[in-house]
């Protein structure tokens, strides 16, 4: 590997540990923290940072009000961009919808099968309609056949 002689594994490991030590110590204190407590900790950190920024802007206002105004606008834009796009309620609704739709593949197969069967129903409906029209003609056909039968009988009787 390039530079392996210059940075042996033990040197890199020591550098990594030194570099991550402050963060590792801070994270060690978080063991057993619940999700809600972590949310509180993060919210407190954001509030503290916002207060520090506001104090700094107030001090800057005394020296350069135009610069403070520009920075306040910038801070407001950053805050607006960092606002979550989904509320916890919206997340719950999306989660619920996802659970209801998890069997969508199976439902799609059943719907496809039903649609294929309904396609045949349309053809059957046309056949039934045609048969019904022909059935309406039966009384006329019977009357004609009765007329022909009488004519045949008369011709036979003569």
Q: Whole-angstrom Cα distance, residue 95 to residue 97?
A: 5
Residue-level pLDDT at 12: 76
Q: What is the pLDDT of residue 5?
A: 56
User: Mean per-residue pLDDT for 46-71?
Assistant: 90
pTM to 2 decimals?
A: 0.37
Cβ-proximal residues to 57 (8 Å cutoff; 6+ apart), any chain = 68, 71, 72, 75
pLDDT value at 62 more than 80: yes
Calpha distance 6→151 (Å, rounded) = 122
pLDDT for res 63 = 92
Rounded to the nearest 5°, which phi and psi values hold at 142?
-65, -45
Question: Measured between alpha carbons, how far is 6 from 137 in angstroms, rounded to an integer?
Answer: 103
Quick one: pLDDT band at residue 117, thresholds 50, 70, 90?
confident
- Which tokens sit at 71? 């920075």
What's the mean per-residue pLDDT of the chain?
A: 81
Mean pLDDT of 55-64: 91
38 pLDDT higher than 90: no
Buried b / exposed e over 99-112, threshold 16 CB at 10 Å, is: eeeeeeeeeeeeee
């Amino acid at each position: 590997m390039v530079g392996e002689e210059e940075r042996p594994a033990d040197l890199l490991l020591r550098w990594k540990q030194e570099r991550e030590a402050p963060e590792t110590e801070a994270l060690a204190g978080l063991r057993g923290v619940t999700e809600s407590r972590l949310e509180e900790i993060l919210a407190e950190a954001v509030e503290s940072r916002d207060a520090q920024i506001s104090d700094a802007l107030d001090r800057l206002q005394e020296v350069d009000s135009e610069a403070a105004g520009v920075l306040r606008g910038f801070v407001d834009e950053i805050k607006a961009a960092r606002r979550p796009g989904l509320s916890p309620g919206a997340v719950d609704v999306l989660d619920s919808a996802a659970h209801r739709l998890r069997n969508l593949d199976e439902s799609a197969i059943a719907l496809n099968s039903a649609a294929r069967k309904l396609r045949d129903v349309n053809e059957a409906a046309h056949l039934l309609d045609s048969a019904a029209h022909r059935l309406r003609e039966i009384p006329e056909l019977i009357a004609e056949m009765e007329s022909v039968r009488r004519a045949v009988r008369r011709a036979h009787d003569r």
